[in-house]
Amino acid sequence: MMDLRPAEWVRHAVMHPVEGFEDMRWKKSGSLKIAFFIVFMLFFGQIADDKLYGTQFYIPYDRVFNIVPYIVMSFVIFGAWVVGNWAVCTLLDGEGTMRNICIYSAYALIPYTVQLLLNAFLSHFLIRDEAVFIDVIRFIGIGWTAILLFSAVKAVHQYTFAKTVFAVLFTIGAMLIMLFLLVLFMSLMQQVFGFIFTIWTEISYRIRV
Amino acid sequence: MNKSIRRLIVSALACLLLSGAAGTTASAEPYEVYNYDQWGDAVPSQAGYIPERSVSGRDLGTTAFTEPSDIFLAPDGLFYIADSGNDRIVVCDAELTEKVRIIDTLTMPDGTKTSLSVPQGVFVTEDTLYIADSENSRVLVCGTDGKVIRELTKPESAAYDQNKTFMPKRVIADKAGNVYVVLGNITTGAAMFDPDGNFTGFYGANRVQPTAEIISDHFSGLFISDEKRARRTRNIPSGITSFDIDGDFIFTCSSSSTQTTDTVKKLNAAGKNIFADKEVTFGDYTPMYDTSQNRVLSSAITDIDIAEDGCINCLDQTSGRIFQYDEECGLLFITGGIAKQLGGFTQPAAIESCGEKLYVLDRTKNTVTVFTETEFGKTVHKASSLHNAGLYEEALGPWNDVLRMDGNYYAAYVGVASALLRQEDYRGAMKYAKKADAGRIYNKAFEGWRRQWLRENGGMLILGIAAVIAAAVFLTRQIRKRRRKGESTDDGSQTG
């Protein structure tokens, strides 16, 4: 019963929002490799969404290309979600391991990623009057991913509905705190580097004179 | 021997190259000519106007100007220059070669003589001369013979705050004879007088810019006491600095370097701003930091002039630049700068235009600088006026000429795209619209191109899709068959 290969498990999980992840958990399935591939595709999807749209919809400023925002919008946010969820749910009696949280959450991102890429592709064939197709696809993609993500958290930790809602809210809070600390840390590092650099310059001038 | 000859040749070539380079960089203008591209970045551009000469008071056969503040080209082709520091109006011929007459004393209706004191504005119609006689707190309405018909002084109406002095800076009159006066200390608009000289109210006040501070002030103002409210700084828009009239419309400008709303307005007879909904930044898009002066140059448009062809010339006093817009507020040229040389200004005060010439009056240099249109400028003007009249196809030739002369001129890409779209050359329109960042035109062109393509290749497309679907069905069936075979052997091995 349910002897599927990893790729087929992906389809099963995405196509069965309610039980898909429960089945996966029951069969101890899921592949980290596929999970990372999905996050990688999310990264490309974010870039496509911003830079590769059809000219009739949006002409991006292509004089400079900064990759950092796209890294933040894919890898950093996903990493913060996984770590935040793991940290919160460890305290809330969750049963999920970090590995499983990562795999299930990544699988849940598939509709969103597909939506990004599909819309970037479609935008080259549609005109502005037909933008409603793009909107509908985006709406479906985001909604589906939201449901899957919820169901993934519920399955991986074996929570009730209400507890999952709490867990998701706490996870978002944890993500914000983590990102805030990250920004704080980076600005601190910047100042420390500036301080060291100034001392270095000063000393090197003194030595030279 | 051989080496030294080679060295000689190389050095000679280097000299030649260097002199050539120096020749190209040392153009006529003492400033960088630039324009804005589709993203609002400043890019080098061709000059639309080049400085031709500068005219001082001595050149006109009179004493030098002292702090002149206004220049006006009368319908009879004479220039009227308000030479404020010398308390006179200098009238000179259309070529700006010699003075025709000097107005410093006028005859009042009762026969007495009166002299001007720091006249700051002058306006002339066919038969009437209007002088904003600033220090005398009056506006003189005279005939061309120098006889004063009427004197407009501080209104005694309740609508005018009697604590405020009457300090006329600029004056214009419309066709009906209504007189509009810009007052130096009034922010509620220009004072309006009817043809009989009665004060009828204010016209064309600016709006307050809704900054975050003003919005928060408004909400905190709902809760504070009346005493406190009375002591608060009031949020007042900057007043009108100057204006010009073109047919039925009055164009105003405000030289506030902090305000960005209502810096340039086009007012109809009812005082409604027609440019209110346009998302145009007049002057430089971003304030520029000038290292040589150690200050931030944010545009302050001090005078405005409407050319006969509808172009709007805005004079920015901080950067000394003239921003010329077409009638739809599309930026055409940026000319001038702060410089000592010909073509640069120290403190530009007023601008006037006539045909292909621009005249800029400088308050500190005490000169009038004459700019003349270049070949490039002529082509752009021709193209843009055809374009704005809706004659896109007629404008195609001039726009292509513009692009040949300056590939950075982005309005030309819009023009070419519009023309090609009308000619149903959809591929070309798409190409140019993409370069112009004109998404709306691109969308139209793409729609046309897609329709054309489908009409020609619709059958092939349907065949192709059918073939792809058939191949997909076949392949999946094959794969399933193979897999089932594999599973059955797997099962067999397990059971066996």
pLDDT value of residue B10: 57
Number of A to B CB contacts under 8 A, please give it: 30
Cβ(B375)–Cβ(B94) under 8 Å?
A: no
Host H or E run for residue B93:
none
CA pair distance B479, B111, nearest whole angstrom? 111
Contact A125 B450 (CB under 8 A): yes
Nearest CA-CA partner of B179 in B160, B153, B158: B153
**Chain B residues with beta carbon closer than 8 angstroms to that of A54:** 446
- Give B137's Cβ-side CA count (13 Å radius): 7
Q: Which two tokens stand for residue A206?
A: 């003194």
Host H or E run for residue B296:
strand B295-297
Taking only the tens place, the pLDDT of each residue in A146-155 is 999 999 999 9
Contact B446 A127 (CB under 8 A): yes
Contact B434 A125 (CB under 8 A): no
Give the rounded distance of the alpha carbon of B487 from its chain centre.
76
**Chain A residues with beta carbon closer than 8 angstroms to that of B437:** 59
pLDDT confidence band for A177 (50 / 70 / 90): very high
Is this complex scored with an ipTM above 0.85? no
pLDDT value of residue B485: 78
For B441, name the nearest residue in chain A, comparing CA atoms only: A56
Neighbours of B200 (CB within 10 A): 15
Chain A residues bordering chain B (beta-carbon distance below 8 Å): 54-59, 61, 63, 125, 127-129
For A126, name the nearest residue in chain B, comparing CA atoms only: B447
Beta strands B301-306 and B79-83 are unpaired
Cβ(B274)–Cβ(B264) under 8 Å?
A: no
pLDDT value of residue A48: 94
CA pair distance A141, A113, nearest whole angstrom? 8
Give me the residue spans of the domains in chain A.
Answer: 6-174
Nearest CA-CA partner of B494 in A86, B287, B486: B486
Taking only the tens place, the pLDDT of each residue in A64-117 is 899 999 999 999 999 999 999 999 999 998 888 999 999 999 999 999 999 999
C-alpha torsion sign, points B4, B5, B8, B13:
negative
Cβ(B301)–Cβ(B264) under 8 Å?
A: yes
Nearest CA-CA partner of B80 in B67, B66, B94: B94
For A59, name the nearest residue in chain B, comparing CA atoms only: B437
For B448, name the nearest residue in chain A, comparing CA atoms only: A127
Cβ(B315)–Cβ(B322) under 8 Å?
A: yes
Give SS3 for B62.
coil
Taking only the tens place, the pLDDT of each residue in B286-342 is 887 777 778 787 888 999 999 988 899 999 988 899 999 998 888 999 999 888 889
Mutate which of A3, A55, A134 to disrupt the B interface (most B C-beta within 10 Å)?
A: A55
**Chain A residues with beta carbon closer than 8 angstroms to that of B41:** 63
Cβ(B142)–Cβ(B111) under 8 Å?
A: no
- Domains annotated for chain B, with CATH where assigned, are 45-374 (2.120.10.30), 375-489 (1.25.40.10)
pLDDT confidence band for A140 (50 / 70 / 90): very high
Chain B closest CA to A14's CA: distance in Å?
20
Q: Which of A56, A59, A128 sits opposite B437 (nearest CB)?
A: A59
CA pair distance B410, B426, nearest whole angstrom? 19
pLDDT value of residue B296: 80
User: Which residues of chain B are under the pLDDT cut of 50?
Assistant: 1, 15-26, 492-496
Name residue B171's beta-bridge partners.
B181
CA pair distance B392, B386, nearest whole angstrom? 7
Cβ(B323)–Cβ(B353) under 8 Å?
A: no
- Burial class of residue B349 in the structure, from the number of CB atoms within 10 Å of its CB (0-12 exposed, 13-18 middle, 19+ buried): buried
Q: Which residue has the tokens 């726009």?
A: B399
Q: Which two tokens stand for residue B156?
A: 């005694």
